[in-house]
């Protein structure tokens, strides 16, 4: 019995890509997904191709070089674009993973201005919102010594503006996208320590006097971590 397995990982990293035009040549960042793939015959004794825990253990040393780092500083990397990153990862999977069949890298964010309307979220008491993503780098210089967020890294940030639909908040969203996307947030005045909390307040202060109906700003660094700010 032949099967294909895929175990997914997500890491947060910064990079600059001189091959990608003016915006991509600036320091920025993304949330990345890596699918580590195994392919082969199922072991009849265990009923599996390989233990998922073993895949995680084999990938861990590679992951620790990627997550919360700048990809341009990786050893022996020539191309930090997705295909180049795949090659770099594949060269570092240990030989013990005999059924390894490749790694596929993708970016979690939109990499374009694609605003969407979100329905109200009763669990977090959020109104209807306009959501869009930005690809940005940052580091948190005020984090405790040794904290991984003190290192330059990046995210596909998901930003949400609450209090109206695209017709009401679309222009504000576009303005923010142009100011924040494909940049290092630390270089922007007022964002020298750009935590999600600081970013939310910065956005609120930037929009509050010119955007009627704004009631909440949400910043998500990952799919499991978000900050909600209501202007208080």
pLDDT of residue 51: 97
Scored b (16 or more CB within 10 A) or e, 165-179 reads eeebbbebbeebbee
Q: Is the pLDDT of residue 166 over 90?
A: no
- 127 and 170 both lie in a single domain: yes
- 137 and 73 both lie in a single domain: no
- 74 and 121 both lie in a single domain: no
The residue annotated as part of the active site, out of 16, 135, 160, 221, is 221
- 80 and 158 both lie in a single domain: no
- 57 and 94 both lie in a single domain: yes
Alpha-carbon distances, residue 92 vs 73, 75, 81 (angstroms):
16, 11, 17
pTM of the model: 0.94
Residues 6 or more apart in contact with residue 163 via CB below 8 angstroms? 127, 128, 129, 169, 213, 214, 215, 216
- 6 and 102 both lie in a single domain: yes
- 103 and 168 both lie in a single domain: no
What's the domain range around 97? 2-107
Q: Is the pLDDT of residue 68 over 80?
A: yes
Of 61, 86, 107, the position where a domain reaches its end is: 107
- Can 149 be counted among the known catalytic residues? yes
Q: Do 17 and 24 form a contact (C-beta atoms < 8 A)?
A: yes
Of 73, 107, 141, the position where a domain reaches its end is: 107
Q: What is the per-residue pLDDT across 117-144, written as a single tens digit (0 to 9) for each? A: 999 999 999 999 999 999 999 999 999 9
- 7 and 69 both lie in a single domain: yes
Q: What is the CATH number of the domain that holds 136?
A: 3.30.479.10
Q: For residue 173, which of 228, 217, 227 has the smallest C-alpha distance?
A: 217
Of 53, 84, 107, the position where a domain reaches its end is: 107
Q: Is the pLDDT of residue 98 over 90?
A: yes
Q: Is the pLDDT of residue 99 over 90?
A: yes
Q: What is the per-residue pLDDT across 44-59, written as a single tens digit (0 to 9) for each? A: 999 999 999 999 999 9
Q: Is the pLDDT of residue 167 over 90?
A: no
The residue annotated as part of the active site, out of 28, 30, 138, 182, is 182
- 185 and 84 both lie in a single domain: no
The residue annotated as part of the active site, out of 86, 111, 118, 149, is 149
Q: How far apart are CA 51 and CA 66, in angstroms?
A: 23
- Can 182 be counted among the known catalytic residues? yes
- Can 221 be counted among the known catalytic residues? yes
pLDDT of residue 211: 85
**Hey, what long-range contacts does 197-204 have (CB within 8 A, 24 or more apart)?**
197/227, 197/229, 199/157, 199/227, 200/227, 200/228, 200/229, 201/229, 203/159, 203/161, 203/176, 204/229, 204/231
Structural tokens at position 135: 């690809």
- 147 and 168 both lie in a single domain: yes
């Amino acid at each position: 019995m032949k099967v294909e397995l895929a175990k997914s990982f997500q890491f947060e990293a910064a990079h600059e890509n001189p091959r990608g035009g003016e915006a991509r040549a600036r320091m920025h960042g993304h949330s990345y997904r890596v699918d580590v793939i195994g392919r082969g015959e199922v072991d009849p004794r265990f009923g599996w191709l390989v233990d998922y825990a073993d895949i995680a253990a084999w990938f861990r040393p590679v992951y620790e070089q990627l997550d919360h780092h700048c990809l341009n500083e990786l050893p022996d990397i020539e191309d930090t674009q997705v295909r180049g990153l795949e090659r770099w990862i594949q060269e570092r999977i240990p030989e013990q993973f005999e059924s390894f069949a490749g790694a596929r890298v993708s970016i979690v964010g939109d990499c374009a201005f694609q605003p969407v309307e979100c329905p109200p979220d009763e669990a977090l008491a959020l109104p209807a919102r306009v959501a869009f993503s930005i690809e940005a780098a940052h580091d948190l210089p005020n984090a405790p010594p040794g904290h991984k967020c003190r290192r330059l890294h990046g995210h596909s940030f998901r930003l949400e503006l609450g209090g109206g639909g695209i017709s009401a908040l679309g222009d504000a969203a576009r303005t923010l996208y142009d100011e924040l996307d494909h940049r290092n947030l630390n270089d922007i005045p007022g964002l020298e320590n750009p935590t999600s909390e600081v970013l939310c307040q910065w956005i609120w202060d930037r929009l509050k006097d010119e955007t009627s109906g704004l009631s909440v700003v949400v910043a998500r660094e990952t799919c499991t971590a978000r900050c909600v700010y209501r202007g208080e």
